[in-house]
Amino acid sequence: MDRLDLVHGDAVLTLAPGIGGGVARLTWRGLDILRPATSETLEAGDPLGLGNFPLVPFAGRVADGRFSFEGREIVLPSNLAGETDAIHGQGWRGAWRVAQHDAATALLVFDHAAGDWPWTYRAEQTFALRNNTLVHTVAVTNTSGSLMPAGLGLHPYFPRDSDTRLEADVSGVYLSASDPPAPLPAAWDWRGGRAITQFVDHQFTGWNGAARITWPARDLSVRINCDAARPWLVVYAPTGRDHVCVEPVSHRLDAVNRSPGGAGYGMVVLSPGETTSMAVRFDWNVLQTTL
């Protein structure tokens, strides 16, 4: 199935299962909640042009695509042009199948065969749409016969104009992969709400799992709530582009190179048959309404 539309009240969610199990569009009363995919993006099958896609079985970068685990040296290929790192796992580059759906809910499944990532796993996404809410859950089950490190995330792209604002309770920022967290620069201090005016591509610490994006000119607000045990927030706002990514993830980036399997940095080590999951709730409404 190339496209799947879910509808509830004034909300319409269009999924693109074959393109990384991603979201092609999410609208409410005709307003785009996520950046809409273009026809060129859909024809090219490019997940980077979608409104959201899953990060499984890890989020962010594995430096140079290499890490050690349980006596094995894992070497992953670069999966993004111009990069030497392995990024965001395998799910976003794969085709997912629609296992179940009705008018407003869907279950997508991705089965990974062992290869460069030497474990088999099953990833699942569930989407539950309501008029003012989307609950998006991503999970991974270790279907191999040995221990497997795992982490999760989502990569939503939101429309961005000159006054798009982000509010999130964070305490610090990683300015590089190797340094400890730094104090928040004023331009990236999202705690009281701030317009996204400068380039940012960093992971923030101390996040409580809640964030709010507002568009005063559109009279629209979206709240994000992530249920990960220790959520981490990545914000990506490229210069001169019309979108911002506010990414809930379950672990520190490159966690597998900081401890065995990323333990202690938000990743989990799954025994055969074990599952980990993360749910993110998106609520939207006009600015005058408190959700």
Tokens of 123: 């990833």
CATH level 3 topology of 4-285: Beta-galactosidase; Chain A, domain 5 (2.70.98)
Residue 51 half-sphere exposure, CB side, CA atoms within 13 Å?
20
Residue ranges per structural domain of the chain: 4-285
Q: 79: pLDDT confidence band, cut at 50, 70 and 90?
A: confident
> Given a cut of 60, is residue 199 above it in pLDDT?
yes
Residue 1 confidence (pLDDT) above 80: no
Q: Could you count the other beta carbons within 10 Å of the beta carbon of residue 269? A: 17
Question: 0.85 cut: is pTM over it?
Answer: yes
Give the whole-angstrom CA distance, residue 80 versus residue 57: 16
Q: What is the pLDDT of residue 290?
A: 45
Alpha helices in 33-188 (DSSP H): 39-44
Q: Mean of the pLDDT values across residues 207-232?
A: 96
- The rounded distance, in Å, linking the Cα atoms of 59 and 247 is 10
Residue 135 makes CB contacts below 8 A (sequence gap 6+) with: 126, 127, 128, 279, 280, 281, 282
The tokens for 235 are 């914000």
Structure confidence at residue 81 (pLDDT): 79
Would the pLDDT of 14 be above 90?
yes
| Residues above pLDDT 90, as percent of the chain | 92
131 in Cβ contact with 166 (< 8 Å):
no
Instruction: Give residue-wise pLDDT tens across range 130-152.
Output: 999 999 999 999 999 999 999 99
171, two tokens: 């305490």
pLDDT of 291 over the 50 cut = no
Asked if 53 and 23 touch (Cβ cutoff 8 Å), the reply is yes
